[in-house]
Amino acid sequence: MLSKELTAASSIPIILSTLIEGESYGYEIIKKIKEASNGKVLYSDGTLYPVLRKLEDKELIRSEWRIAENQKRRRYYTITDKGITQLKEEKLSWEFMNGLLNTLWAPLPLTSV
């Protein structure tokens, strides 16, 4: 499992990337991230919902309450145009950091962890 610090630092681009595929609700977001990471990135309700509120406060996403097919009330989240712009900026930043780390790690022989 990844460190809490790395997971926290990557939460915004991960969540926005999940929502770029279409609207979703909390549990489904958690499930998509778990599946995409092969179980290495795990969010709890207590971790995800504060980030979703923060993204909504920044107008990067919007939400609305609806009744799902199973008659449960769910809050569905959708990325906004501002969120798409932010995601593009995040992608450039992460690509730069990935390239930098790959350059710095090039001489280091890595073994599987």
Listed by start position, the domains of the chain span: 4-104
Phi then psi for residue 36, to 5 deg, are: -65, -30
pLDDT of residue 10: 95
* pTM of the shown model: 0.87
Give percent of the chain above pLDDT 90. 78
Quickly name the fold that domain 4-104 has: Arc Repressor Mutant, subunit A (1.10.10)
pLDDT of residue 1: 62
Phi then psi for residue 107, to 5 deg, are: -80, -5
Q: What is the pLDDT of residues 89-105, one digit of tens each?
A: 999 999 999 999 999 98
- Bridge partners, residue 74, by sequence: 66
In whole angstroms, how far apart are CA 89 and each of 12, 16, 57? 11, 12, 18
Report the pLDDT averaged over residues 44-71: 94
